[in-house]
Structure 1
Amino acid sequence: MDHDEARVKLLDAAEELFYARGIQAVGMDAIRSGSGVSLKRLYQYFPAKGDLVEAYLRRRDERWRRSLVDYVEAHSPGDRVPAVFDWLRGWFSEDDFRGCAFINSFGELGEGAPGVARVAREHKDSVRGHLRAWAGSESLGDQIFALVEGATVIAGITGDPTAADTAKAAAQTLLRAASAG
């Protein structure tokens, strides 16, 4: 197994286990077992568990945002904000949906893991930036961001993907008010 393949296997196992069970509930031995990579090699790539958590979150951020952006930008500019909530509805409906990995990680580790906190903030700042661009203003984008985050938390806790529909209706109300203003 070459360097890249081992790293991918480690990150795949980490993502599956951390997202499903939580970071603190998963030890490095479980990552080793789930990846098929030796513990010695795991620690060569990720000397501390925090390094692995940060790498997992950075990779998840890249894939998650790319999927969202690709979906939303396939729509006309006037339909992009509502499309965000359609994309969220699909994500919330996935069998393995367990809420936001960034909120979950920060909730578990908080400021005690400054690298994880930094990655979570960077993710949220990037999402907010996209929403500001799609909404056409910082203020409206920030309001839409609050709806996205709220819907994600609600869906994560309740398991009900219709939280995206409720937030979409609220976003459409905000968009109408902004265009009438």
Structure 2
Amino acid sequence: MAKTTNEPPVRERLIDSAGALFYAEGIRAISADRIIAAVGTTKATFYRHFPTKDDLVLAYLEVRAELERSGVTAAAAASDPQEALRGVVGVLADTSCQPGFRGCPFINAGAEYADAAHPVRRLVAEQRTWWTTFFRTLAERLGVPSGAAADSAAAQILMLRDGALVAGYLDDPNAIQTQLSKAITAVVTSARADR
């Protein structure tokens, strides 16, 4: 008779445990043995699911990417563009105020993998491209003309987001919502004026 349990599948537990450790202490600082011990599994099981530690890093980042994307997409779903902006800024501010916040997992991973051709860095680049597209669409909804103006606004907003997440880790996370909202509004206002 099959054993029933409420415990998630081992692959999911490996990703969850590794993700918590990677985020708290850094990817390079965590060994496969430490993850195996945290999950309470065997090396054979670990390597059956993830032939290399980098494969596990990619799986962790893919999960984080989906969480980020679904969270901000839902926050931006309001039909009123200003309300959508407030929702997105709120999600970013709330994230940075969470206990144990250690910055953007993609910026952190990018810093640990110097080779731009490495699969981890390519996944980081894909996530940044997603954010740029997301912010371009948001800027256009806020009245920034399509094309170069929206592209420039999106790049600036992405930089503001990056800075806000660093500030959430190093400075006062409670100030992020107000400051980020003001900064994005200034970028959008400037981009609309440059028509």
Selected match of 1:36 from 30, 36, 40: 40
- 2:123 is equivalent to residue 119 of structure 1: yes
Q: What value does the CA root-mean-square deviation take over the aligned residues? A: 2.1
Q: Percent identity?
A: 31
TM-score by length of 2: 0.84
Which residue in the other structure is 1:178 paired with?
A: 191
Selected match of 1:110 from 106, 114, 128: 114
Distance, in Å, in 2 between the alignment partners of 1:75 and 1:15 is: 34
Which deviates the most, 151-160 or 124-133? 151-160
CA contact 2:14–2:36 (8 Å) conserved in 1: yes
Q: Summarize deviations over 1:112-134 as a string: whole Å, max 9, x none.
A: 77011011111111011101001
Residue 159 of structure 1: how far off its partner (Å): 5.5
Which deviates the most, 30-39 or 150-159? 150-159
Q: What are structure 1's unaligned runs of at least 5 residues?
A: none
Residue 153 of structure 1: how far off its partner (Å): 1.9
CA contact 2:97–2:168 (8 Å) conserved in 1: no
Which deviates the most, 6-15 or 32-41? 32-41
Selected match of 1:67 from 71, 77, 92: 71
Q: What are structure 2's unaligned runs of at least 5 residues?
A: 141-149
Residue 79 of structure 1: how far off its partner (Å): 3.0
Selected match of 2:85 from 70, 81, 97: 81
CA contact 2:139–2:154 (8 Å) conserved in 1: yes
Q: Summarize deviations over 1:19-68 as a string: whole Å, max 9, x none.
A: 01111111111111222222210011111111111111111111111111
Structure showing greater radius of gyration is: 2
Distance, in Å, in 1 between the alignment partners of 2:17 and 2:160 is: 31
Distance, in Å, in 2 between the alignment partners of 1:103 and 1:83 is: 22
Residue 156 of structure 1: how far off its partner (Å): 2.4
Distance, in Å, in 2 between the alignment partners of 1:90 and 1:82 is: 12
Distance, in Å, in 2 between the alignment partners of 1:13 and 1:150 is: 27
Distance 1:160 1:177, change over 3 A: same
TM-score by length of 1: 0.89
Instruction: State the AA in 2 paired with 1:69.
Output: T
Distance 1:22 1:159, change over 3 A: farther
Distance, in Å, in 2 between the alignment partners of 1:127 and 1:146 is: 10
Which residue in the other structure is 2:169 paired with?
A: 156
Distance, in Å, in 2 between the alignment partners of 1:170 and 1:22 is: 30
Distance, in Å, in 2 between the alignment partners of 1:31 and 1:75 is: 43
Distance, in Å, in 2 between the alignment partners of 1:57 and 1:51 is: 10
CA contact 1:50–1:113 (8 Å) conserved in 2: no
Selected match of 2:49 from 45, 50, 57: 45
